[in-house]
Amino acid sequence: MATVADIKSALENVKYPGFAKSIIEFGFVKDVQIDGSACILTLDITSSAKEVESKLREDITQTLSGIVEEVIINIKKPEEEKQQSNSTSGKNIAPHIKNFVMVSSGKGGVGKSTTTVNLAVAAAMQGKRVGILDADIYGPNIPRMMGLQGREVEVIGNKAKPFRIHGVDVMSMGSLMQEGQALIWRGAMIMKAIEQLLRDILWENLDILFIDMPPGTGDAQLTLAQSVPVTCGVNVTTPQHVALDDSRRSLDMFEKLHIPIGGIIENMSGFICPKCNEESDIFGMGTCEALAEQYNTQVLGNLPIEPAIREGGDSGKPVVYFQPESESAKRYMIASQKLIEYVDQVSDNVSNEEIQPTTPPGVSACSTAGASTQAKSSNGGGCGCH
Ligand SMILES: Nc1ncnc2c1ncn2[C@@H]1O[C@H](COP(=O)(O)OP(=O)(O)O)[C@@H](O)[C@H]1O
Ligand SMILES: [Mg+2]
């Protein structure tokens, strides 16, 4: 007949899901009782995730199967996170995140990731609970820009825990893929990846999740907008007219997806000389004002080309946090403040009901040939990316 000590010793072999330590070492086993041929266990764990509980039940039952005839397991855990989102309709696969800000650009290289990082860190510095999701599957640069390169993702149950750095929770496609690995993404894969980045990451209750999107307007943008009610979009552009043409497509996409436009960041708007501090015009400053007017939105900020911004990106030390006295840091702080005000204004009225797919569940409206006729016949729903 097994004793309490035998049971506890056997339980030393049961690891807490995702960790090298056992449930005994963590102190999660609060009570062990023997009742005839049965063993009654009480555990008090720190995760509310269903996956953690079911993995524990499975491992404990298996470990004790040769020792006792029956195992009764009581698991106490924190309450599941309550829905915080103000969305009243549509779909939301991450309801404990209050606001989603989609950062987009018409093309790559205009400073989208740099802007995401600095706006997010600035919002955290202004007291918001902030996360960054790097959904740029083609060029995930956030790990480098936040100083996370080489850091291993911690897995709990079958979910991944975001990193916490510079006051922000961060998860990147780059941390989940092998470094330098090139992937060819097709429609259905993109949809799955975006959904998993929202559903299978252990995001805490956040005020704002900033999402660095791949450049352009495609499957990733559509999937994100259909999966969660995006509070607003931010467009990043450089001021040359060619860049503005691409920007229009990006702003049109926000409109098509019923995403309120939070504003435009005019990046590389002028050059601040590190020697004399004088600002000179290179690409044509101020051209975004007219664009903002056309889309009934605001310019959140004009960010100069400043070496400190690039250095901060390369070294993983965002300028807004590490060089708060720089001109760029001050402009990012103001831009973030304006954005937060906008988010607070529209947060209650955001819905993605009208852009839900009209295809059957699990079938992509973007890339599955069989579903395309049905998607196209809808009244503005379905896919705009053909
Ligand atoms: N305002 C700026 N001043 C100086 N360098 C910048 C500025 N904005 C972006 N950069 C640099 O330009 C490069 C491209 O920016 P990045 O944010 O990666 O663009 P994207 O995400 O749009 O591809 C990076 O090396 C970044 O550090
Ligand atoms: Mg980028």
How many A from CA of 110 to the centre of ligand 1?
6
How many A from CA of 105 to the centre of ligand 2?
9
Class of domain 4-76: alpha beta
How many A from CA of 367 to the centre of ligand 2?
24
pTM for this predicted structure: 0.75
CB atoms within 10 A of CB 105: 27
pLDDT tens digits, one per residue of 368-377 = 443 333 333 3
Q: Which of 310, 314, 322 to mutate to test the pocket of ligand 1 (most atoms within 8 A of CB)?
A: 310
Q: Which residue puts its alpha carbon closest to atom 27 of ligand 1? A: 310
Closest CA to 117 of 143, 94, 98: 143
What is the DSSP code string of 57-108?
HHHHHHHHTTT-SEEEEEEE-PPPPPP-----SS--S-TTEEEEEEEE-SST
CA distance 14 to 6: 14
Residues surrounding ion ligand 2 at CB below 5 Å: 112-113, 141
Domain boundaries, the chain: 4-76, 97-371
- Contact at 8 Å (CB) between 318 and 117? yes
How many A from CA of 305 to the centre of ligand 1?
9
CATH architecture of 97-371: 3-Layer(aba) Sandwich (3.40)
pLDDT tens digits, one per residue of 167-185 = 999 999 888 876 666 667 7
Mean pLDDT of 216-245: 91
pLDDT tens digits, one per residue of 111-159 = 999 999 999 999 999 999 999 999 998 889 999 999 999 899 998 888 8
Q: Where are the beta strands (DSSP E) in the chain?
A: 29-35, 38-44, 70-76, 97-104, 130-134, 154-156, 159-161, 163-165, 168-172, 206-212, 232-237, 261-272, 279-280, 299-305
Output the ligand 1 site: residues, CB below 6 A: 105, 108-114, 141, 267-268, 303, 305-306, 309-310, 313
